Each structure stands twice: as structure tokens, then as C-alpha cells.
């Protein structure tokens, strides 16, 4: 039986200051404690961004592989690599910071590569082929978008992602820390305790994801 595999993906441009990166790292450690001998595949979309879909990548989806030109063949190979990473993973951890009320464009590019008839869906695109993979999304939101707040509904990244990957069969689960800008934005100083509480809640959710293995 192959070793359990985790695919850990970060996308924040904040480096060591990133809340989403701290949450994916915490979740990865928890996963490794529960899966001794498991393998971790890591992808950093901020440090190594994926190319956005261009005409070659678009046409590669509709031209038979034996008729691909060089650009289409390269685009096909990249999409297949990304899809295979998800397909072989038992769990995907995706760090998702919310930038300008949406997902980073690097995450959008990743999702666009994942949606590929015949690779992540059946040939008609009506049945997803990646539904056996668990997806946990660790979200960091600089502001507050909870129900009843002035910007309720402004988090378009969290709202979009389940729809973006729906054709593949993936069903993301979300863990969210919000008000993450409170410590650096003087106008949000009065929200610092709420921000700390939100982060603690997210950390507790992460810690409850998997029980450490008994050895």
C-alpha cells in the first residue's frame, strides 16, 4: 500500500508574517503526526507562480494530444502534473489569503489548470474525478466579513472556490482566521482581541483535524 500523501499549497505573499502560511504549517504538522511515514508534496504559488491559461493552454483541452503543438503539449503536461498531485494526495491543504476581497490570481491559475476534461473530469465534463481527495482550505482575511458586519458577503474568494473546483468533484472544507490586519492597521486597533480570538479558534479547528497516531 502506498504511503499516505499530503499536498500542501501556500499562496500568501507575506512570508513569515503570513497567517495562512502559519495555519497550513500547523495543519501539516498535525497531519504528519497522524500519518507516520506519510509523504508531503509542497507547492508555493507565491514563490513559483503558475502561468495563467493562454491560447495554447486553452486549446490543449480541445485538441487531441497527438495533435498538440509544442506550446499545447507543454501546457497539457503542466495541467496533468498539477492534477496528478491532487489525484494522488489523500489530503490537500490550501492556504488562501483574501486579497482585495478575492483569491490571489495564483490560486485562480491553479484552479484553471485543474479543470481539464478527461483528466480531472470525465470527457464530457459532467463527472468529477478528484472527489476522493480531502481538501482543507486555511483562510486568512484581513477584515471582518461575518454575517451582520458592514462587509458581509465581500469575501468572494471563499464563495468562489467551491464553485471553481466543483466540476472536478473536490469539496473544500474551510477554516478561517479573520481581522488579521488588526495588529498592523491603527484603524483596527479596537478589533485586536477579536482578531486574536478568531486566530485561536482557527488553530483549535486545525488541531482537531486529525488525532496523532498511537505508536
Give yes or no for residue 213 having a pLDDT over 90: no
Cell numbers that stand for 149 in this block: 458586519
Instruction: For 72-118, write each residue's pLDDT tens digit.
Output: 999 999 999 999 999 999 999 999 999 999 999 999 999 999 999 99
Mean pLDDT value across residues 127-131:
96
Residues 6+ apart with CB under 8 A from 64: none
Number of domains composing the chain: 1
Asked if residue 172 has pLDDT above 90, the reply is yes
> Is pLDDT of 53 > 70?
yes
- C-alpha cell of 202? 482557527
Q: Has residue 26 been placed in a domain?
A: yes
Domain span at residue 99? Answer: 5-140+164-177+199-207
Exposure of 74 by Cβ count < 10 A (0-12 exposed, 13-18 middle, 19+ buried)?
middle
| pLDDT for residue 214 is more than 90 | no
Q: What span, in angstroms and rounded, lies between the C-alpha atoms of 32 and 15? A: 22
Could you give the CA distance from residue 149 to residue 114 in angstroms, rounded to a whole number? 34
Average pLDDT for 23-36: 97
The grid cell for 174 is 474551510
User: Residue-wise over 34-71: b if at least 16 C-beta within 10 A, else e?
Assistant: ebeebeeeebebbeeebeebeebbebbbeeeeeebeee
- In this structure, is residue 193 part of a structural domain? no
First to last CA, the chain: 19
For residue 85, being part of any structural domain is answered with yes
215 has pLDDT over 70: no
In-domain check, residue 192: no
94 membership: H or E segment, kind and range: strand 91-97
Mean pLDDT of the chain: 96
SS3 199: helix
Query: What's 22's domain CATH number?
Result: 3.40.50.360
Whether 40 is in a domain gets the answer yes
Whether residue 124 lies inside any domain: the answer is yes
Amino acid at each position: 500500500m502506498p504511503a499516505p500523501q499530503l499536498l500542501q499549497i501556500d499562496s500568501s505573499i507575506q512570508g513569515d508574517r503570513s497567517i495562512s502560511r502559519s495555519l497550513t504549517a500547523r495543519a501539516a504538522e498535525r497531519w504528519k503526526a497522524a500519518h507516520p511515514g506519510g509523504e508531503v508534496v509542497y507547492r508555493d504559488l507565491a514563490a513559483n507562480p503558475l502561468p495563467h491559461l493562454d491560447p495554447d493552454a486553452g486549446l490543449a483541452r480541445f485538441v487531441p494530444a497527438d495533435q498538440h503543438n509544442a506550446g499545447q503539449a507543454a501546457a497539457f503536461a503542466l495541467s496533468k502534473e498539477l492534477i496528478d498531485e491532487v489525484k494522488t494526495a489523500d489530503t490537500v491543504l490550501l492556504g488562501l489569503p483574501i486579497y482585495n476581497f478575492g483569491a490571489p490570481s495564483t490560486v485562480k491559475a491553479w484552479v484553471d489548470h485543474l479543470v481539464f476534461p478527461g483528466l480531472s473530469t470525465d470527457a464530457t465534463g459532467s463527472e468529477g474525478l478528484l472527489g476522493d481527495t480531502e481538501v482543507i482550505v486555511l483562510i486568512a482575511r484581513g477584515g471582518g466579513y461575518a454575517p451582520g458586519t458592514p462587509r458581509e458577503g465581500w469575501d468572494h474568494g471563499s464563495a468562489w472556490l467551491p464553485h471553481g473546483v466543483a466540476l472536478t468533484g473536490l469539496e473544500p472544507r474551510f477554516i478561517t482566521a479573520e481581522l488579521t490586519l488588526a495588529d498592523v492597521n491603527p484603524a483596527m486597533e479596537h478589533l485586536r482581541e477579536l482578531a486574536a480570538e478568531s486566530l485561536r479558534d482557527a488553530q483549535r479547528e486545525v488541531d482537531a483535524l486529525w488525532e496523532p497516531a498511537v505508536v
